[in-house]
Amino acid sequence: MSIEFEPIRMEPAYRKVAAALLARITDRSLEAGERLASETELARQFGVNRSTVREALRELESHGLVQRARGSRRMMITIPEHEVTAGGISRALTLHGVTALHVWEGLSVLEPPIAEAAARRRTAEDLNALTQSAARFLAASANTAATVHAAAEFIRSLGAAAHNPVLSLAQAPLLQLLEPSLGLMIDRVPQARIRIATAHRNLIEAVRTRDAVAASTWMVRHVRDFRRGYEIAGISLDRAIEG
């Protein structure tokens, strides 16, 4: 019986250049803030056209890995923001038909430990950020889009207070999906805003007093209310989220 082989993939030259630069970034040979050589010099080193280097740099820039240094024509290595990285993940999840139930299950697993860690590790600046997020939520009550954004921002602030980049990055795509999913039901549930504000108030108090158990308990209730809101609004949790 003959064996069939997969065709060899012929990648464009710019992809190979981008991969070579990415390898140097991820192994820390190129550090954040360091400027790359000019496009002309990179083209010489790689043995390609300058246009090939330019296309490779555009690809890296789209992922937040390089940006144009101020006052310079040369690119600088950057650390991608969580929101940039999370955007690609949340778009992929949307294309895979992620539902409100999937988002709720993800929040249920991830957010209580984050709240617990935030209560233990928060700084005065973290507590101030949480308080401001809660205030923005109350101020935005007449605007649905601003309200759901502020609700997600509060949870994002808790993630920052946990001071664990793994947890913060894990929650980022979920929070991008939380906004459209929360927006579907918040105006259909009269008590939704009051319950969210109550959860914010109690979570802030738990974090302020460094009560990790209370912080986790209130986050469990807060996430549970998300599912309950869908049930009250009569919206199926199997409904796909539109990013």
User: Which segments of the chain belong to CATH 1.20.120.530?
Assistant: 82-233
Q: What is the per-residue pLDDT across 100-127, written as a single tens digit (0 to 9) for each?
A: 899 999 999 999 999 999 999 999 999 9
Q: What is the per-residue pLDDT across 167-224, written as a single tens digit (0 to 9) for each?
A: 988 898 888 888 888 988 999 999 999 999 999 999 999 999 999 999 999 999 999 9
pLDDT at 5 exceeding the cut of 90: no
Residue 188 per-residue DSSP state? G
Span 34-60, mean pLDDT?
93
pLDDT at 46 exceeding the cut of 90: yes
3.30.420.60, 1.20.1260.10, 3.40.50.620, 1.10.10.10: which CATH number matches 13-77? 1.10.10.10
Q: What pLDDT, on the 0 to 100 scale, is given for residue 71? A: 79
pTM of the predicted protein model: 0.76
Q: Alpha carbon of 185 to those of 16, 28, 101, 144: distances in Å?
A: 46, 45, 13, 10
User: Which segments of the chain belong to CATH 1.10.10.10?
Assistant: 13-77
Q: How many CA atoms lie within 13 A of 72 on its CB side?
A: 14
Report the CATH number of the 82-233 domain. 1.20.120.530
